[in-house]
Amino acid sequence: MAESSFTGQIYRLRASSPMPVSGGRLLLHTFGGEVNDVEIYECTQTLPPSSDFRGQGLGGTLVSANFSRIGDKTGHFQGRKMFVPSYIEEDELGFNF
C-alpha cells in the first residue's frame, strides 16, 4: 500500500453555555473562534513520535493524534493528526447571524 493523506481544517466557535433571558429565549455569549489544521491519513506506515506533541518537546506542533491498524499486523495505519489551533475573530468563521 502506498502512503495516502490529505490536509483539511476544523473550525470551532468558542462560546459559553446558552443563558436564559426574558421571554423564554436563550443568549449565546461567544468569544472568538479557532482553526485547527488536520492531516488525515488513509494509509501510512509512520506514526508521530512523542516529541511532535505540544508539551512533550521543544516546538511540538501536535495537539492530538489517533491511528488504527489496517488489516493484519503488516504495519499499515489510518488516522489523523491535529495541530495547535490558531485563534481568530468570529467574523473570519462566517458564524455571525
pLDDT of residue 81: 96
Q: Is the pLDDT of residue 97 over 80?
A: no
pTM here?
Answer: 0.71
> Strand 26-27 and strand 77-83: pairing?
unpaired
- Facing residues of 82 across strands? 38, 64
**Model confidence pLDDT, tens digit, residues 38-57:** 999 999 999 999 989 988 76
pLDDT of residue 88: 84
Within 8 A by CB and 6+ apart from 17, the residues are none
Average pLDDT over residues 76-80: 94
